[in-house]
Amino acid sequence: MKKKIVKWTLILYPIYLLLVWLYLFQWSDFGVPAAYQGSAADPATFMTDRQLELSQEYSRYRNFLSLATIPLEWIIYLGVFLFGLSHLFKKFGESISRFRIVSIPIYVLLLSGLSWFLTFPFDYAYRFLSVRYGISTDTFSGWMRDEMISFWIGYITMALLITVLYLLMQRFEKRWWLYAWIGLIPFIALMMFIQPVIIDPLYNDFYELQDKQLEEKILALADEAEVPADRVYEVNMSEETNSMNAYVNGIGSSLRIVLWDTTLTRLKDNEVLFIMAHEIGHYVMNHLYWNLVGVLAGSFVGLYLTYRILTWLFRRYGKRMNIKGVADIAGLPVLFIVLSILSFVAQPIEMTFSRGAEADADRYAIEMTGDVDAAIGSFQELTVNGLSDVNPPAVIKYLYYGHPTMMERIHMLEEYQK
């Protein structure tokens, strides 16, 4: 059984990579549809030939990495399980302490560390591409620092969630998934609250916007939209990237309006105001809360399906896999594979809803500011600085694009102008 799985993995994964390469580099058309040629949405009207060439190269290589890593997580967890590492991790944790509240976090640390080590070459490949194409300006030491922060935040969060989950599995054989979902509600709300004030500052320095005149204009937009904000924050992202961004996040007293300093230096004030009006639109239309509803609904379905799948798997193959039951921590890699596959299946649905919300925020922003030229200019500048692909291949769009393509966004603005 193990030999067959390894054999077919070694055969199918290279074939998958070949098909991905052919799809992105041979079969996908990076051209501009005739209906958009010569319009403001046509990159040839605002990008040089060299920028267009770099944009297409960067997009192809980055998209290849993204698609290549989809099954990688499944392969890693499958290997951990098949080669007995999962049982070794379990035994080591239990040798440290017989209490599951201690042994489970130790297991999670070993599994997380191994997974991070095995995926590190792909993470570094992403960084290499970003540096080579002038997107990233971060030093290797700065990048590694952020990697370590992300690892430990991810580990602490995962260790807490997995420990609680497996204690629930042990206590409630048939209802653990429901109690786990109920516990997610306050946890997600807490994370939304602490993200802007505790987690984000671990990566970058946040300070009050230096341009007070621009801050007054942004706060005037916020006041008009009844957004309860009394200051605008600036974050020093120029140390890491040439990309631009702005956002409104947090809930209650942790609400923050944030601008990357790269956005401030590369966009005109009226273009910045359009970007901020877009972010304010998300707040006004309660997209943050609708996103929370979506996450909770998706997690409810996902946890229930996971419960059904794991119950079936371990009843049928538990003895062969040397797994005592759903609550056996040695089966965690199987749980992760199931959750990852379910997440992958749900991702296009999530992206579809996200693109709809982003399009609504674009319309809100142009209606609020009324400055079409500034709106188009901001999107064109975002495209140039990020070497964005205005017309990505269909698979990439539906899997990864939480926004409409830049071509679609700029075209919408042109239609609004008419």
Transcribe 230-299 into DSSP letters.
Answer: S-EEEE-GGGTBS---EEEE-SGGG-EEEEEHHHHHHS-HHHHHHHHHHHHHHHHTTHHHHHHHHHHHHH
pLDDT tens for each residue of 227-243: 887 788 999 998 899 88
- Hey, what are 16's tokens? 């998958």
Q: Distance between CA 66 and CA 57 in Å, rounded? A: 14
- Hey, what are 399's tokens? 């899997």
Indicate whether 237 belongs to any domain. Answer: no
pLDDT tens for each residue of 321-374: 888 889 999 999 999 999 999 999 999 999 999 999 999 999 999 999 989 999
| pLDDT given at position 228 | 81
Q: Distance between CA 183 and CA 47 in Å, rounded? A: 49
pLDDT tens for each residue of 244-275: 888 888 777 777 888 999 999 999 999 999 99
Of the candidates 181, 279, 186, the one whose C-alpha atom is nearest the C-alpha of residue 233 is 279
End-to-end CA distance of the chain: 64
Total residue length of the chain: 418
Indicate whether 383 belongs to any domain. Answer: yes
> Catalytic residue among 279, 328, 389, 408, which?
279
Indicate whether 227 belongs to any domain. Answer: no
Indicate whether 93 belongs to any domain. Answer: yes
Q: Distance between CA 149 and CA 372 in Å, rounded? A: 40
Residue 403, CA atoms < 13 Å, CB-side half-sphere: 19
Percent of residues in the chain assigned helix, strand, coil, to nearest 5? 75, 5, 20
Of the candidates 221, 199, 188, the one whose C-alpha atom is nearest the C-alpha of residue 292 is 188
Structural domain containing residue 75: 39-202+287-417
403 in a labelled binding site? no
Burial label, 331 (beta-carbon count in 10 A; 0-12, 13-18, 19+): buried
Q: What does each C-alpha distance from 259 to 189, 195, 233, 394 come to in angstroms? A: 23, 16, 6, 31
Q: Distance between CA 199 and CA 312 in Å, rounded? A: 39
Concerning whether 216 is annotated as a catalytic residue, the answer is no
278 in a labelled binding site? yes
Indicate whether 13 belongs to any domain. Answer: no
Q: Please report which helix (H) or strand (E) contains residue 225, including its range.
A: none
DSSP 314: H
Indicate whether 276 belongs to any domain. Answer: no
CA-derived radius of gyration, the chain: 24
Query: Pairing between strand 256-260 and 232-235?
Result: parallel
| pLDDT given at position 418 | 58
Q: Please report which helix (H) or strand (E) contains residue 168, including its range.
A: helix 140-171
| pLDDT given at position 222 | 87
| pLDDT given at position 203 | 92
Strand partners, 241: 136
Concerning whether 224 is annotated as a catalytic residue, the answer is no
> Catalytic residue among 42, 73, 261, 362, which?
362
| pLDDT given at position 6 | 85
Q: Are 85 and 64 in contact (CB under 8 A)?
A: no
Residue 253, CA atoms < 13 Å, CB-side half-sphere: 1
234 in a labelled binding site? no
Amino acid identity, position 200? D
Instruction: Please state the domain count of the chain.
Output: 1
pLDDT tens for each residue of 107-124: 999 999 999 999 999 999
Indicate whether 238 belongs to any domain. Answer: no
Burial label, 17 (beta-carbon count in 10 A; 0-12, 13-18, 19+): middle
Indicate whether 23 belongs to any domain. Answer: no
| pLDDT given at position 327 | 92
Extract the residue ranges of the chain whose pLDDT is less than 70.
Answer: 1, 417-418
Q: Are 385 and 43 in contact (CB under 8 A)?
A: no
| pLDDT given at position 417 | 65
